[in-house]
C-alpha cells in the first residue's frame, strides 16, 4: 500500500498521491473530514482540527511520531512533569509575564490597549514556554540529542538555552538567508553550545530549515527528539505546542480580571506564521465566542504580489511538513516561496488549528505589509518605550485595520523583543 518515498521529497512538502506518505491516523491513507458539530476547536482523537491536521508522514518517520502520539499526554499530564514545568516557568522563564496597559498607545487609538509582555521572558520571546516543556518530555523519552529548526532565531535560542540547562547536545537548522539577517541570535546559539547548520536549499529560510530537521530526525530516531517551534508538523506537535503555550492565555485571564474586572477582553490580536504565540494567546478563549480573535499574517510587499507570506489570503488546502493545512502552492501542488521582512513569519503554511479557526470563522485573519509593520514598530517605540520584534509588530499594525470603540479591551500578544531586529531598524530608519 505504501510505495517508496520520492528521493527528492520524502513527504514533507505537499506530496502528491503515491509518494510514500503514510497517514498515521487513518490506515486507509484517506483524509477524513470531522463533523464540526462533534468538536469545537480542540484536536480530536485522530489529530485533526476539523479537516486539518493529522500525521502525513514518510514511512521512515512512523516510529518517531507514533511514540510521541502514544506517550505525550501521559507524560505531560503527570504530576512530576507539571511540578517541574511550572517551577521552571516561574523561576527560569520569569512567568507570569506582565499584562501592561499601554496608556499612550491607547490614547493614540482611542481605545484600551494592553500588551502581554512575552518579550520580557528569558531569551526574549514566547518560545521558551514550549522548549521548556519539550526538553522535559525528551528526557522522559530517554532522548540524548535535540534538533530544532528556526527562522528568526528565537526558537533556536530557546532550544539551545534549554539544552544548555539540561546538558543535552543541540543541533539547530537555520536557512542561510536567516543566518545572515539574524546574526545576533546565531551568535547566542553558538555561545550556548549549539551547532548551527545553515541550510542552502530552496529560498534558504524557515521552510527549508524544517525540511532538513525532519530529514535528520528520520536518520536518528533512537536518540533524537525534534523540538518543533510552532503549532505545525504531524500530530501530536500542533496540540502539544499549543498546550505548552497556553500558559499565555491562562495568565491573561487572571490578569484581565485583576485589572479590568472581567476575564474576557473585547479582542485578542497576535501575529501568525506557523502560529504558536497566537495559539497560546487564543487557547483559553477558544470557546468564549464573545471574544474576537484576530491573527495577523505577513503580507510582505503586498498580498497581490509574489512577495508575500499571507498564507490564508493566497493559499489553498494541502499537505505541508506532514500535516494537512492551508499553504502557498501552485496549481501543481508545489510550494511557492514566501517572503516577509520578518524571518519568523517567512513560512508558506500555517498551523492546522489556525486553518480550522479560519474555515469555521472563529478567528479573523488580517495581513500587514512590511511598511505597515515598520511604522508600527516606530509608533510603539516612541509612545511606550518598548521596541517590539518584527513578528510582534504585525499584530500592532493591525490596530489601524480594525474598528475599536473607546471602552473596548484590546490585548496584543507582544511575542518577542526587537533586540534581534535592531540592524533592520537602524538601516530602515537611518539612525
State mean pLDDT over 311-339: 95
Neighbours of 256 (CB within 10 A): 19
Q: Report residue 303 as a C-alpha cell.
A: 498580498
**Cβ(295)–Cβ(274) under 8 Å?**
no
Closest CA to 411 of 389, 390, 393, 396: 396
Grid cell for residue 386: 518598548
Q: At CB < 8 A and 24+ separation, what contacts does 24-27 make?
A: 24/54, 24/55, 24/56, 24/57, 24/62, 24/65, 24/66, 24/69, 24/234, 24/235, 25/54, 25/55, 25/235, 26/54
pLDDT tens track for 388-431:
999 999 999 999 999 999 999 999 999 999 999 999 999 999 98
**Higher-confidence residue: 393 or 34?**
393
Which residue matches cell numbers 547566542?
188
Per the CB < 8 A criterion, the answer to whether 241 and 279 are in contact is yes
Nearest Cα neighbor of 161 from 112, 121, 212 is: 121
Separation between Cα atoms, residue 15 and residue 37, nearest integer Å: 30
Contact 296, 368 (CB under 8 A): yes
Distance CA 73, CA 298 (A): 33
Of 59-68, 77-86, 138-147, 355-364, minimum mean pLDDT range: 59-68
CB atoms within 10 A of CB 407: 8
What is the average per-residue pLDDT within 340-369? 96
Cα 191 from Cα 129, distance rounded (Å): 21
Most confidently modeled range among 129-133, 205-209, 331-335: 129-133
Written as nine digits, the cell of 163 is: 539544552
pLDDT band at 1 (very low <50, low <70, confident <90, very high): very low
Residue 15, pLDDT > 50, answer no
Helix (H) or strand (E) holding 137: helix 127-140
Provide the pLDDT for residue 244.
98
Could you tell me the domains of the chain? 57-78+127-240 (3.40.50.1100), 94-125+246-429 (3.40.50.1100)
Confidence of residue 14 (pLDDT cuts 50, 70, 90): very low
Reply yes or no on whether the pLDDT at 157 is more than 50: yes
Reply yes or no on whether the pLDDT at 24 is more than 70.
Answer: no
Q: Is 18 a residue whose pLDDT tops 50?
A: no
Element (H, E) at 389: none
317 CB-contact burial (10 Å; exposed 0-12 / middle 13-18 / buried 19+):
middle
Per DSSP, the chain holds a count of helices (H) and strands (E) of 16, 16
Tell me the pLDDT band of 262, cut-offs 50, 70 and 90: very high
Q: Which residues contact 348 (CB under 8 A, 6 or more apart)?
A: 207, 309, 311, 315, 320, 327, 328, 329, 335, 336, 337, 338
Question: Above 60 in pLDDT, residue 175?
Answer: yes
**pLDDT above 90 coverage of the chain, percent:** 87
Residue 182 confidence class, pLDDT cut points 50, 70, 90: confident
pLDDT at residue number 39: 53
Residues composing the chain: 431
Mean pLDDT of 274-294: 98
Q: Please calculate the CA angle 260-262-268 and round it to the nearest 5 degrees.
A: 85
Predicted pLDDT of residue 124:
95
Tell me the three cell numbers of residue 363: 478567528
- Active-site annotation, residues: 127, 149, 415
- What is the residue-averaged pLDDT of the chain? 91
pLDDT tens for each residue of 62-71: 999 999 999 9
Q: Give the range among 38-42, 118-122, 273-277, 278-282 with minimum mean pLDDT.
A: 38-42
Phi-psi bin for 362: left (phi > 0), alpha (psi -120 to 50), beta?
Answer: alpha
Summarize pLDDT for 47-82 with one digit per residue, the tens: 999 999 999 998 989 999 999 999 999 999 999 999
Amino acid at each position: 500500500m505504501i510505495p517508496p518515498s520520492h528521493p527528492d521529497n520524502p513527504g514533507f512538502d505537499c506530496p502528491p498521491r503515491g509518494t510514500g506518505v503514510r497517514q498515521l491516523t487513518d490506515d486507509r491513507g484517506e483524509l477524513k473530514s470531522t463533523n464540526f458539530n462533534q468538536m469545537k476547536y480542540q484536536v480530536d482523537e485522530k489529530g485533526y482540527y476539523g479537516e486539518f491536521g493529522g500525521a502525513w508522514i514518510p514511512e521512515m518517520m512512523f516510529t518517531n511520531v507514533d511514540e510521541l502520539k502514544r506517550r505525550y499526554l501521559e507524560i505531560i499530564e503527570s504530576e512530576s512533569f507539571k511540578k517541574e514545568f511550572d517551577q521552571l516557568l516561574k523561576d527560569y522563564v520569569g512567568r507570569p509575564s506582565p499584562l501592561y496597559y499601554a496608556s499612550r498607545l491607547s490614547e493614540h487609538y482611542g481605545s484600551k490597549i494592553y500588551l502581554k509582555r512575552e518579550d520580557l521572558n528569558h531569551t526574549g520571546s514566547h518560545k521558551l514556554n514550549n522548549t521548556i516543556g519539550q526538553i522535559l518530555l525528551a528526557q522522559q523519552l530517554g532522548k540524548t540529542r535535540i534538533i530544532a529548526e528556526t527562522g528568526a532565531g528565537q526558537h533556536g535560542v530557546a532550544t539551545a538555552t534549554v539544552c544548555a540547562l539540561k546538558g543535552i547536545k543541540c543541533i539547530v537548522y537555520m536557512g542561510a538567508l536567516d543566518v545572515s539577517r539574524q546574526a545576533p541570535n546565531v551568535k547566542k546559539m553558538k555561545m550556548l553550545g549549539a551547532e548551527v547548520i545553515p541550510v542552502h536549499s530552496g529560498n534558504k529560510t524557515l521552510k527549508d530549515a524544517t525540511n532538513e530537521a525532519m530529514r535528520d530526525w528520520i536518520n536518528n530516531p533512537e536518540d533524537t527528539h525534534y523540538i518543533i517551534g510552532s503549532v505545525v508538523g504531524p500530530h501530536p506537535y500542533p496540540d502539544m505546542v499549543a498546550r505548552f503555550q497556553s500558559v499565555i492565555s491562562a495568565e491573561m485571564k487572571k490578569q484581565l480580571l485583576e485589572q479590568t474586572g472581567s476575564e474576557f477582553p473585547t479582542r485578542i490580536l497576535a501575529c501568525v506564521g506557523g502560529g504558536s504565540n497566537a495559539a497560546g494567546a487564543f487557547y483559553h478563549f477558544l470557546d468564549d465566542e464573545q471574544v474576537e480573535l484576530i491573527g495577523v499574517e505577513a503580507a510582505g510587499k503586498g498580498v497581490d504580489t509574489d512577495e508575500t507570506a499571507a498564507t490564508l489570503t493566497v493559499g489553498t488546502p494541502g499537505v505541508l511538513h506532514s500535516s494537512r493545512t492551508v499553504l502557498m502552492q501552485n496549481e501543481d501542488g508545489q510550494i511557492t516561496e514566501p517572503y516577509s521582512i520578518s524571518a519568523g513569519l517567512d513560512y508558506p503554511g500555517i498551523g492546522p488549528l489556525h486553518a480550522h479557526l479560519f474555515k469555521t470563522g472563529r478567528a479573523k485573519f488580517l495581513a500587514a505589509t512590511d511598511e505597515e509593520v515598520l511604522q508600527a514598530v516606530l509608533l510603539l517605540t516612541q509612545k511606550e518605550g518598548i521596541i517590539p520584534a518584527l513578528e510582534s509588530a504585525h499584530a500592532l499594525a493591525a490596530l489601524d485595520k480594525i474598528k475599536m470603540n473607546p471602552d473596548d479591551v484590546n490585548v496584543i500578544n507582544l511575542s518577542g523583543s526587537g533586540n534581534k531586529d535592531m540592524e533592520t531598524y537602524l538601516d530602515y530608519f537611518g539612525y
